Structures are given as structure tokens and as C-alpha cells.
Chains A and B, each alone.
Chain A
Amino acid sequence: NAGVTQTPKFRVLKTGQSMTLLCAQDMNHEYMYWYRQDPGMGLRLIHYSVGEGTTAKGEVPDGYNVSRLKKQNFLLGLESAAPSQTSVYFCASSHSGLAGGSSYNEQFFGPGTRLTVL
């Protein structure tokens, strides 16, 4: 099993360009998440999905769109990139987001995508 994979690993964009980051998981997880990590700020949730065809906003959704057309894939889009979106982007998945003592909502992270916007 590959776990969670992210494509691409690195990308440099110019201001105003668009791009899509792809996240794929082979663990049949229901929940998927997109985070961004900036130096000294931990991880901030951008968008998440609780199942195929559903998405929801996280803490910092502005400037990003997402789609979950297939259960195993979660796409993050930047329509018009800005320098403030320079960051490392992590995708994660979990079996369930529900609380209750279950270990099923352990999040598995991908290796990350390092994005620079000039």
C-alpha cells in the first residue's frame, strides 16, 4: 500500500497562475483533509471532505477550491496564485472523523507539496 501520495512534490508559480494539487489514498478512508504549513505556525486546515462528493471549509479556505469526485482522490485548486500562498501543503486522510474513543480517526499524512509563488 502506498498510503497517501501527493503530486507534485515541488512547484514554482508566478502570481496569477493556476494549478491543481492532487492527493490520493489507497486505504479506503472516508475523510480527507488539506492543510498548509507555514514556518512557526503549525498546520492550518484549508478544506476537508467527509466523503465522496462532499467538501467543507476549514480555517483558511479563501483562495482555494477543492473537489472529491472519487473517494480516493482529493484535489486542491489555486485559481489565481498569490505570494501569500507560498507554503508547504499536506494532504491527510482518516477512516472516520467521528470522536468516541475509536482509533479510526488517526490521520495519515502525505509527504507534502512545496509551493512557491513568485
Chain B
Amino acid sequence: GQQVMQIPQYQHVQEGEDFTTYCNSSTTLSNIQWYKQRPGGHPVFLIQLVKSGEVKKQKRLTFQFGEAKKNSSLHITATQTTDVGTYFCAPYNFNKFYFGSGTKLNVKP
């Protein structure tokens, strides 16, 4: 199946610090989605990236798709306590999405 590695597994930050999670694939991806899951909740769609080198922003969140379409990143500027949760990348291949293991973000107020 699809090999996807997401790092780091955990990240603890002080409120106001930045946060980045990376998603690396062993194969070229057609597209990739990012989801956020709050503790005890279900995954919620954040963004979809399709083009090589694509960069998309949503307020304090910046998403990038690598030039070779084998990696992606999510960067949060000036974290807030509302950013707490697990962030998953989900590369798409052959009608299926393969979720990474996620990065669990904890934000200390």
C-alpha cells in the first residue's frame, strides 16, 4: 500500500510559537489532503493540494506541496489553544486516501 511517513509524531509548543508537520511519501502523489482531528472528535477536512510546488494559506495555516509531489507540509504561525489536535495528511491514489499516522499538537497557554 501507500507508504506515508508523517513527522513529528508529537509536538508540544507554547502558545504563540510556530508549528510545522511534514508528510513524506515514497512515491509521487496525484494529490494530498490535510485533516484536523480534535481530541475525541472526527477528522475534518482542511485543504487539498494538487499542483507541484503549490502553496495555499488559510489564515495562520500554510500548506505546501513539494515540487516533486512526494512531500507536503503544514505550518501554523503563532499557535493558539484552539489549534490543539492531531493533523493528518492523506495522499490520494487509485480512488483511495491513505492517511498518515498524524502529528499530535499540544499547545500550552
Contacts and interface: CB of A to CB of B under 8 A. Distances in A.
A56 B96 CA distance: 10
- Indicate the size class of the contact surface on chain B: 20 to 34
Contact of B96 (A41, A45, A90): A45
B48 A106 contact: yes
Nearest to A101: B50
Contacts of A43: 43, 88, 99
Contacts of B51: 101
Contacts of B100: 42
Contact of B50 (A35, A99, A107): A99
A74 interface: no
A105 B50 CA distance: 12
Contacts of B88: 42-43
A48 B43 CA distance: 17
Interface in B6-49: 6, 9, 30-31, 33, 35, 41-45, 48
A87 to B, nearest CB: 14
- Indicate the size class of the contact surface on chain A: 20 to 34
A99 B97 contact: no
B74 to A, nearest CB: 15
Contact of A107 (B6, B31, B33): B33
B96 A112 contact: no
Nearest to A44: B99
A111 interface: yes
B102 A97 contact: no
Interface in B76-92: 88, 90, 92
A35 B98 CA distance: 10
9 contacts: A31-B95, A42-B101, A45-B96, A48-B95, A59-B1, A99-B50, A100-B50, A105-B48, A107-B35
Interface of A: 31, 33, 35, 40-45, 48, 50, 56, 58-59, 90, 92, 97-101, 103, 105-112
Interface of B: 1, 6, 9, 30-31, 33, 35, 41-45, 48, 50-51, 88, 90, 92, 95-102
